[in-house]
Structure 1
Amino acid sequence: MHAMQYEITLPADYDMGIIRNRVATKGHLLDSFPGLGIKAYLIRERGEYSQVNQYAPFYLWATPEGMNSFLWGPGFQGIVQDFGRPEVQHWTGLAYAEGPASAVLPRTATLHRAAVAASVAPVDAVEAALEESRKLARTPGAVATALAIDPRHWELLHFTLWEQEAPEASGARYEVLHLSAPERDRLGEGRQW
């Protein structure tokens, strides 16, 4: 499993209806994309939970071939053409789990990033993060959760989809406009090694 996200921060007065319409008309195009486990079409609107307007899709890839096919294919080129080339962040998958609300379409998502301190052994940080991921997966209202790491910057990432409003949690909160999940079943439950 590979996790990937690009964030497109938009002007404070940007009409987010444009993004909503984009997702409503084009979101279904990845509903059967080979190698894609999950794509959550995420937005944040300036207000209570965010200081910015942002379109920030999040991907969980079942295969690296799927990710590469997307990045070098027409889908991502449309993003580049319309918004410029965003920085594509990516993480190696550590764990994935379905939650108690896994049969429901998610309405919100949370993304929590945490640096692994230089004084902490990577294996200890990952074991603690795995335990936190297991707790998130059992939380009422959780649809699915993933844990990933960027070993270049030693950053852990918890991504969770929620049935309704996310419970009080640290990290960024998003609204889910659409969920493409053609190979969700190939993401594999539990630890990824």
Structure 2
Amino acid sequence: MLATQYKITLPSDYDMNIIKERVRKNGHKTDGFPGLKFKLYLITEKGLHNNLQNSYSPLYLWKDSNGLNKFLFEGYYDNILNSFGWQQVNVGIPLFDTTSPNILENTYLYHLRGAIMPQGSLNTLKEHIQKSIPPIHGAEFLVTYNPDQWKYDIFCFLKDINNLKVTSGAIYQILYISSQF
């Protein structure tokens, strides 16, 4: 499996209803996409949930590289290129994936990022990263790492954020989920 995400930072006065309408009209187009386990259509809105900027940041979990290759190189990604220009596509290798069809009921994604520091052995790295996962009752998680950048990402799927204590990271609003659950 592979996870990919690109983050399109939008101006602070950007009308986020444009993105919401875009997803409402087109989100279903990735339903059943070959090789895709799920795609989350994610946004942040400046000032909402302590977010500092507007962004559109879809998150994909691919069953294998074939689906990702089809998406990037057979014209599907061209919609992003034509609308928003060239974007850096971040790639992560799943380390923990507790997602189930229940993620379809979620409306928020809490994202934390951490650095993997140079060390003599990686034997305890999984345990270290697992301890970084916030203890959120009932939440499902996807944890990925990137050995090219030596970073890891924790994605927590949430139905609501009323009791969430946020000291770092970002809270995304989930506009739509395409899945093969």
Q: In structure 2, what residue type is equivalent to 1:165? A: I
Q: 1:151 & 1:103 partners in 2: Cα distance?
A: 27
* TM-score, length basis structure 1: 0.84
Q: In structure 2, what residue type is equivalent to 1:82? A: S
Matches within 5 A, 1:43-192: 43-48=43-48, 49-98=50-99, 102=102, 104-119=104-119, 121-133=121-133, 139-142=136-139, 144-165=140-161, 167-169=164-166, 170-182=168-180, 184=181
2:113–2:152 CA contact under 8 A, matched in 1: yes
Cα deviation code 1:47-66 (max 9, x no counterpart): 04211110000111111101
Q: 2:171 & 2:121 partners in 1: Cα distance?
A: 29
User: In structure 2, what is the equivalent of residue 36 of structure 1?
Assistant: 36
Query: Would you identify which runs of 4 or more consecutive aligned residues in structure 1 move more than 3 Å?
Result: 130-133
Q: Structure 2 regions of 5+ residues with no counterpart?
A: none
CA RMSD of aligned residues (A): 2.0
Q: 2:103 & 2:114 partners in 1: Cα distance?
A: 29
Q: Structure 1 regions of 5+ residues with no counterpart?
A: 185-193
Aligned length: 178
Q: 2:118 & 2:173 partners in 1: Cα distance?
A: 33
Give the stretch that moved more between structures: 27-36 or 112-121.
Answer: 112-121
- Superposition deviation, residue 81 in structure 1: 0.5
User: In structure 1, what is the equivalent of residue 15 of structure 2?
Assistant: 15
C-alpha change, 1:104 and 1:32, in structure 2 (3 Å) is closer
Q: 2:71 & 2:77 partners in 1: Cα distance?
A: 6
* TM-score, length basis structure 2: 0.89
Identity %: 33
Q: In structure 1, what residue type is equivalent to 2:21? A: N
Q: In structure 1, what residue type is equivalent to 2:165? A: E
- Superposition deviation, residue 132 in structure 1: 4.5
1:46–1:53 CA contact under 8 A, matched in 2: yes
